[in-house]
Chain A
Amino acid sequence: GAGVSQSPSNKVTEKGKDVELRCDPISGHTALYWYRQRLGQGLEFLIYFQGNSAPDKSGLPSDRFSAERTGESVSTLTIQRTQQEDSAVYLCARQGPANTGELFFGEGSRLTVL
């Protein structure tokens, strides 16, 4: 597979609740990305982790969104006080060969906020 596992695959929550989404890439990949895929729209870049460098958080849509990653391991994306517009598929990806820019995606976590 792509070497990226995401959980949960589906999450239904009530408006106002906090949710945590998890991404677990195979080891040895320093670059990790989170994207959001809303229905009928392209993927939106959220955040990028590269080794021990400060993450690029420029795509996070509001301060309700945050993400963490320790070293080259698991990353978690947290959405606080969820809103209905947060409903989307959240995709995690690891970087492939540097000369192609290829990304390897997980299967995503589908979030539905009621």
Chain B
Amino acid sequence: GEDVEQSLFLSVREGDSSVINCTYTDSSSTYLYWYKQEPGAGLQLLTYIFSNMDMKQDQRLTVLLNKKDKHLSLRIADTQTGDSAIYFCAESITANNNDMRFGAGTRLTVKP
């Protein structure tokens, strides 16, 4: 089946930038998402990008999409301790969601 891969762990110092990377295999992916899961909580949508976009910026968050390489990244500027969480990359072909594929999640640890 189609896969979504991301590294499992990332550790940064408070104030630094964090970059979380994701690769996917389905070239038909139309919607690409980043979800955040804080301890003891459900996943929350952080941001999303359509496949016809290269970049999306939202305050401290920058999403970059390289469709040719099927590579998605999430950059968090000025990382804070409150950003410590698991970040899931996900992709789907439709907005219907039953074809959505999730990565295993990257656990971001922010050290003071």
Contacts and interface: CB of A to CB of B under 8 A. Distances in A.
Interface stretch (A14-22, A41-49, A66-74, A78-86): A41-49
A18 B94 CA distance: 34
**Residue among B4, B42, B104 facing the most chain A CB atoms (10 A cut-off):** B42
A95 B42 contact: no
A111 interface: no
B87 interface: no
Contacts of B33: 101-102
A8 interface: no
A101 B94 contact: yes
Nearest to B31: A101
A91 B104 contact: no
Nearest to B98: A48
A43 B31 contact: no
A105 B44 contact: yes
Given A40-B8, A42-B103, A101 B97 contact: yes
- 7 A-B pairs closest in CB distance: A105-B42, A101-B95, A42-B102, A43-B102, A48-B98, A105-B43, A107-B42
Interface of A: 2, 4, 31, 33, 35, 40-43, 45, 48, 56, 58-59, 91, 93, 95-96, 98-108
